[in-house]
Amino acid sequence: MVLRHIATLFEPGVRYPAKDVNVVLRAFHHDFAALRRYLVDECLLSRAGDLYWRSGGPVEV
């Protein structure tokens, strides 16, 4: 549930460099790298190289 909430902080369709993702995740936990891995593992964020994008989670309409 917490990971799904964090995923909503990233705009669908926008690609984020890792440094920008880290800034958002640091607000939730000092181990932002683990949070980033968990988001990718749960298919809430996808990754290619140094870019991340939202690939799951709820979308408000």
Structural domain containing residue 42? 2-54
Does residue 47 lie in a domain region? Answer: yes
Closest CA to 11 of 59, 47, 50: 59
Number of domains in the chain: 1
Query: pTM of the predicted model, to two decimals?
Result: 0.90
Which helix H or strand E contains 47, and what residues bound it?
Answer: strand 45-48
61 domain residue, yes or no: no
Within a domain: residue 60? no
The answer as to whether 59 is a domain residue is no
Say if CB 12 and CB 59 are below 8 A apart.
yes
Mean pLDDT of the chain: 94
Per residue in 9-31, pLDDT tens? Answer: 999 999 999 999 999 999 999 99
Residue 45, in any domain of the structure: yes
Q: Is residue 46 part of a domain?
A: yes
pLDDT at 60: 73
